[in-house]
Amino acid sequence: MPVGTVASVKGLPQDILEELGVRILLGNTYHLYLRPGVETVRNLGGLHGFMAWPRAILTDSGGFQVFSLNDLSKVTDEGVTFRSHLDGSSHFFSPESAMEAQIGLGADIIMAFDECTEYPADRDRTKASMELTLRWAERSKKYFEEHKGEVPWEYPVASTQYPDSDRTGNWQLGTGYSPTQSLFGIVQGGMDLALRKESAERTVEIGFPGYAIGGLSVGEPRERTREVVEATLEHIPADKPRYLMGVGTPEEIVEYASLGVDMMDCVLPTRAARHGLLFTSEGKVSIKQARYAQDAGPLDPNCGCRVCQRYSRAYLRHLYASNEVLAQVLNTLHNLSFYLDTMRRVRHSIQLGEESRFLSGVWSRPRP
């Protein structure tokens, strides 16, 4: 899932996202709640209507940003008091108000309100945080069950308004839509494998149509991430969507998919693009480097995206060096295209049942 923090994947219009084959994107509840505000989005048809995006959307619970963007946030059993990073105004999120916000935003998949345990944290702290997330998961589900009819949707109107242009053909808008949203639970438990198991089992007991693994990519070593993911996945039903939040590099997403992760989101392809860092089949390219100033070749000779088909490395380097807006647009377009191609190849290889061959062969690791 590309990240569209404030109802926009920075640099790319929605028709390009459709052309790239994006089938679901992520919006951040915290940011949208502060600006433009949930009621505004609700009155404009929810996120789908507001941003003119006919395909699927997932919103996070707001918890992660509340904790990561606020040094002064105050957590009690009831919820979290935090200050807006925009104007310093004081706000309060509880499981109930986070659900209310996400129902108003109207994404297809919404997330239970959780506390993302900081890293490092000792066992007592991790356990207390996990218990809080479990209590909040129950309250999130209860509120959702009582209010799930309040979505701002007007399907299937959108299907005629925004015809599907996905050439993969396996996503038909206006068919198979649920009358409401899907609320996913989030497994916490820090880096403690026993607590991860307990958190997973008790979250599954509460019962959700999908499960996320939260609290990773918070500064821990990558080997630790993998270990925790692998240990946690064992305790989440394989017949439900399993969503790993906030990862990763192209190599990492292939690896996590091979472990059984179905969904991932990451700001890396879009954020790195804006800093001139591009992912290619031949490894990472820092397009700002002077070595590309005279390079007439395509950014990635193996990429079919419109940037690689049309422009030279020299031109992309020039745009970046000149601080042109187009540099951000083209860089983002290529990086997202590369990520989506990577996942397409993963899906294809899973369909062919040749995952092991894929992992050892077709995907070539970037050169050091």
Give the binding site for Zn ion (CB under 5 A): 303, 305, 307-308, 334
> Minimum Å distance from CB 332 to Zn ion?
11
CA distance 237 to 235: 7
Which residues is 286 bridged to in the sheet?
A: 277
Residue with smaller CB distance to Zn ion, 202 or 334: 334
Residue 337 Cβ vs Zn ion, minimum distance, rounded to whole Å: 5
Q: Hey, what's the torsion of the CAs at 107, 109, 115, 116, to 10 degrees?
A: -100
Of these residues, 60, 108, 300, 341, which one is catalytic?
Answer: 60
**Which residues face 58 on adjacent strands?**
26, 109
Q: Does the annotation mark 71 as catalytic?
A: no
What is the spatial distance between Cα 359 and Cα 255, in angstroms, rounded to a whole number?
Answer: 8
Q: Which is nearer to Zn ion, 233 or 308 (CB)?
A: 308
- Straight-line distance from the first to the last Cα atom of the chain, in angstroms, rounded to the nearest whole number: 27
Closer to Zn ion by Cβ: residue 42 or 334: 334
| Residue 217 C-beta: closest distance to Zn ion, Å | 25
- Considering beta carbons, is residue 308 or 316 the nearer one to Zn ion? 308
In whole angstroms, the minimum distance from the beta carbon of 146 to Zn ion comes to 47
C-alpha span between 365 and 358 (Å, rounded): 12
Q: DSSP 3-state assignment of 145?
A: helix
Choice between 48 and 313, CB closer to Zn ion: 313
Considering beta carbons, is residue 99 or 336 the nearer one to Zn ion?
336
Instruction: Give me the least distance between CB of 333 and Zn ion, in Å please.
Output: 8
Other beta carbons within 10 angstroms of residue 361's beta carbon come to 10
Beta bridge partners, 24, equal 56
Closest separation between CB of residue 309 and Zn ion, Å? 8
Contacts of 339 (CB under 8 A, 6+ apart): 2, 250, 253, 269, 279
Q: Which of 108, 114, 192, 265 is catalytic?
A: 265
- 166 tagged catalytic: no
Looking at 145-227, which runs of residues are DSSP E strands? 182-187, 211-213
Whole-angstrom distance, CA of residue 242 vs CA of residue 261: 5
Burial of 132 (0-12, 13-18, 19+ CB in 10 A): middle
* Residues designated catalytic: 60, 265
